[in-house]
Amino acid sequence: MKVGYLGPKSSFTFQAANEIFPENTLIPFASIPLTIEQLENKTLDFAVVPIENSLEGSVHATVDYLFDQTAITIKKEVILPIRQQLLGTHFVEQVKKVLSHPQALAQTEQYLKKHFPEVLLEAVSSTTAAAQYVAEHPHDKVLAIASKKAAEEYGLQILAKDIQDNSMNKTRFWLLSMDKDKQNLARYQNKKVTLFVSLPANLPGALHQVLSAFAWRKIDLAKIESRPLKTYLGEYFFIIDILLNENEVLIENAIKEIELLHAKVQWVGNYPVDEIT
């Protein structure tokens, strides 16, 4: 079995993929489109990509790729806490520089301001690249911000643990496959359905009508978000995540009703949600 993921190795996407599959099945790719492309070309059985971070919001590369195709479905969601570690080869007296990915630097901004107010912060291409540089330059007085996994991978010490400013920082990842069959999710506690809905035109109130079809059936929406259709400024499609509570038939009825309003509904998948703590 081959599972592609947004690399490099020891990225947070690696950790999400490794929650589902053994390490020796996992293959890193340099970007989200490259990862999903290999799934479409059938050189992969599965792909794992990020879909949303609690601070940054949706990962548009994932959403936009999935909207433009109909062959790929969501098989599972993994929610991972994002915990950043301060890594070095040994305790350093006069730190000169801290390296990391721009997002990890942003996520630890207050910690760095407090503990390293004078130190140069340098953005590199990934947290893994930062850890690798530090491991290969033990005399440079340079530290990295990266994951626990990166510490193991490069034999680095964790000099300060869980230094992210927001302890609730989490990322959602989707496990994607080309098997479009609806899953039987009876045995799962937490599960969702994701739909993409394109409205017929910019009818005032069209979105309200779509939401009405869910609301009067008491269907719980976990999320609704708009993305540009890339046709004209002001035209959007909507990503709708629904919490599944023994109500799949109600959801199917709502979809039929929405389609009668001439909206286009794309069923992206029904899937269990696995939150890692």
List, by residue number, the catalytic residues: 171, 173
Here the tokens at position 154 are: 């490069």
User: What does the binding site for a copy of itself look like in residue numbers (CB under 8 A)?
Assistant: 52-57, 60, 79, 166, 168, 170, 172, 202, 204-205, 207-209, 211-212, 214-215, 218-228, 230-234, 236, 243
Cβ atoms 134, 98 nearer than 8 A? no
Name the residue nearer to a copy of itself (CB basis): 45 or 64.
64
Helices 60-67 and 32-40 meet at what angle, rounded to 10?
Answer: 30
Name the residue nearer to a copy of itself (CB basis): 179 or 220.
220
Cβ atoms 130, 75 nearer than 8 A? no
Rounded CA-CA distance 272/275 in Å is 10
Cβ atoms 243, 173 nearer than 8 A? no
**Side chain identity at 94, as an amino acid letter?**
Q
Name the residue nearer to a copy of itself (CB basis): 129 or 207.
207
Name the residue nearer to a copy of itself (CB basis): 157 or 166.
166
**CA proximity to 191, closest of 249, 267, 274:** 274
**CA proximity to 20, closest of 41, 49, 61:** 49
Shortest distance in whole angstroms from residue 127 CB to a copy of itself: 20
Burial class of residue 106, CB neighbours in 10 A (0-12, 13-18, 19+): middle
3-class SS of residue 72: coil
Cβ atoms 13, 6 nearer than 8 A? yes
Shortest distance in whole angstroms from residue 30 CB to a copy of itself: 15
Query: 242 forms bridges with which residues in the sheet?
Result: 193, 221
Shortest distance in whole angstroms from residue 210 CB to a copy of itself: 9
Name the residue nearer to a copy of itself (CB basis): 155 or 204.
204
Shortest distance in whole angstroms from residue 189 CB to a copy of itself: 16
Shortest distance in whole angstroms from residue 230 CB to a copy of itself: 5
Rounded CA-CA distance 193/251 in Å is 9
